[in-house]
Chains A and B, each alone.
Chain A
C-alpha cells in the first residue's frame, strides 16, 4: 500500500550461527550457538528524514544497516519500503525497488576497487544501461555534485585522500538515483575537518534531492548533527528511540543517559567523564531480562528476569526500561545535566 511510512522495520531479527568444530557437532547434543546480532528491531522513517542509529561496537547497528540494503537476509521480521515488503537479500528483491536503496560504507579504502577508474566506479550502478558517452556525462555530473571535477575522471582511488574517496563513494551511491541512503559510519575514518566537509555534503545532498537517510554511527555528536530521530541500540536491541531534540535534551534510558555522560566534550576542558562500569556482554549469551541490567545503576530485581519492551513515554520517546517513567527519572549523578521531564 502506498500509505504508511516510507521505511518500516517490523521485529527485524538477525542471528548468525557460530560454526562449531565437527567433533562438537557429532558428540555434543547442545543446541547450535547463535550470535544474536539484531533482535526484534522495529523502527520507521518518514520520507526526507534521517534516522540515526547509535551504539557501541557489537550492538548490531552495522548488521541492521546491512539488512536494510539487503547485504544480509533477516532471520525474522519484515522490512517494508514504500509500502512494499522487501523479502530476503538484495538479489531477491525487485531490482527497481532495490536500486532505490544505496549504501555508503565506513572504509573508503576498502569500498572502492583500487583497479577501477573513477568514471567506472561512480557509474557502476548504471553499467549496461547507458552508452559510454552518456556514462561519461553522468560521471562528470556526479563528480560535480560531490565537489570533485572532470579532471578526476581517469584517476584511480589511490590518488585521493580519505575524504575525497568518501565523496566518490557518495557519488556512486547517488548514481542510482536512490531514495534511501544507508550510511554506515561514513566519517569515522576521517579527520574532523574533513568529517565536517563530508557531513555537510551529505546534508546538502539530502536536502537537494529529498533523500531519506539511515545514519549509523558510534559517535553521538555526529548522529546528533544529522538526524531527525535517533535510535539507541544495546546488544542487538533498540533501548530508546526518540526525536533528536528530545533524545539529547531529555534522555530517559539509563544506557542512553550513561552514554551521553561518557562523551568527551572539547568545550569543557578538565571535566572527567563518568565511565559506565563493566563491559558490553557477549552477544552469544546476552544477560537475561534487560541486557543492560548488570551495568545499570537503576536495576531492580525484575530487570534481571523480565525483558522490557519498547513503550511510549510521551514527547515521542519510546523506551525499553522497567524503571524509568514510573517515577521521575533520577537526576544525573553530578548536577549540571539536563533536567528531564517525561511526558
Chain B
C-alpha cells in the first residue's frame, strides 16, 4: 500500500503574522520506491520531513496536511494523532546519527528498548531481533558492537545503527534526511547500497531528502525538486535528469561540476540566491534568477500541474528533450 502526503503546510509565527515555510507539498510513494526530495538549503526539504512526523516546535507549526499510511489518513496538525506514527509508521534516519543515538547507552540496549516500545517482545527475543537487525544493516561483528557506545563506532557504522533503529518496527515509510551527506564517498557508497538493498528486500517506501543530485540519481525512482518551500517539478528520475522541464531543475543539474570534465571553463552558476521565507517575490519564486522569466512570471504564481506521470509548476517550461543533452559520464575516452 502506498504512502501519501497531501497538502503539507508548515508556517513560522512571527510578530507580523504567519510566514509559510513549506506550502502545498504532496506526494505518493509506492512500496519499494524511493522519492528523492531535492533542494538547496532553505528550500524546505528538511522541514517537510520534520512536518511529516510532527517534529516541529513553536514558533514553527504545521498548518495543514494529511498523511496516509497503511490505509489510515492522519491530519498532521493533530500532534496527538501523529505521535503514534513515529517509528511505527514512519522511520527516520537523520543526517547526524548522534542525534538519534543516546551517547550514554550501548547501541544494543537502544535497539532493544526501541524494539520493545513498538513490539510485544521480551528482552531475550528483542535482543535476538536486534542482533539480526544489526547483521542485516551490515554492521561488522554485531555481537561485539552490541555492547559498544555510539562514540566507539565510526561514522558509517553509526549510520548503519541509525538505519537499524529506523527499521525496528518495520515502518512502511522511511524518511532519510541527508543521511549520506556527512559521510566520505567510500562510506557513502556503502550506505547507499545498503539502503537500496533494504528497499528491495523490505519493500519500504523511502523519502530520500538530499541536496546531492548524484545520490538521487543512484537511488531514487522518482525526484521532486523543491524551491522556496514548494515542489516545482516532479518526474521519474531518468526523465528528470535527461530532460528537465523546469528552468531551475536544469540550472541545478548544470551547476554540478563533472569529474574529468573540461576543467578550464566557468561552471554555469545560477545567479543570486534563493529568497528567504517571508521575502518571496510575487509570481514565480524563481523568476528573479530565471533566464526565461516573462511578465506573467513576475505577477502570477504558476500552479503545480499534472503532466502525464509528472508534475510541473512553470509558465515557460523547457520543451521535452530541449535541455542541452548532458553528456554521459565524462571521464575516460
Contact = CB atoms under 8 A, between A and B. Distances in A.
Contacts of B214: 263-266
Q: Contact size class for B? A: 35 or more
Interface stretch (B7-15, B90-98, B256-264): B256-264
Nearest to B196: A272
A267 B257 contact: no
Nearest to B254: A196
B217 A259 contact: no
B154 interface: yes
Contact of B156 (A163, A227, A268, A279): A279
Contacts of B333: 249, 338-339
Given A196-B257, A224-B260, A225-B258, A273 B327 contact: no
Given A192-B211, A272-B196, A272-B218, A218 B331 contact: no
B82 to A, nearest CB: 30
Interface stretch (B66-74, B104-112, B125-133, B185-193): B185-193
Given A221-B259, A265-B329, A270 B218 contact: yes
A258 B327 contact: no
Interface in A221-261: 221-222, 224-227, 244-245, 248-249, 258-260
Contacts of B156: 279
Contacts, number: 162
B241 to A, nearest CB: 5
A274 B259 CA distance: 16
Contacts of B256: 192, 221, 266
A309 interface: no
Interface residues of A, number: 54
Contact of B260 (A195, A196, A249, A275): A249
Per CB-CB distance, the 4 closest pairs between chain A and chain B, nearest first, are: A264-B214, A338-B332, A248-B260, A196-B269
Given A224-B260, A224-B261, A269-B237, 16 more contacts: A192-B255, A193-B40, A194-B40, A195-B255, A221-B256, A221-B261, A244-B263, A249-B333, A262-B185, A263-B185, A264-B185, A265-B330, A266-B241, A267-B217, A267-B241, A270-B217
Interface of B: 40-41, 154-156, 184-190, 192-193, 196, 211-218, 237-238, 241-242, 251-253, 255-261, 263, 266-271, 273, 326-333
Interface of A: 56-57, 161-164, 191-197, 199-200, 203-204, 218-222, 224-227, 244-245, 248-249, 258-260, 262-276, 279-280, 336-339
19 contacts: A161-B273, A164-B273, A191-B40, A192-B256, A193-B269, A194-B40, A199-B257, A203-B266, A218-B185, A220-B259, A225-B267, A245-B263, A262-B188, A264-B215, A272-B193, A272-B218, A336-B329, A338-B331, A338-B333
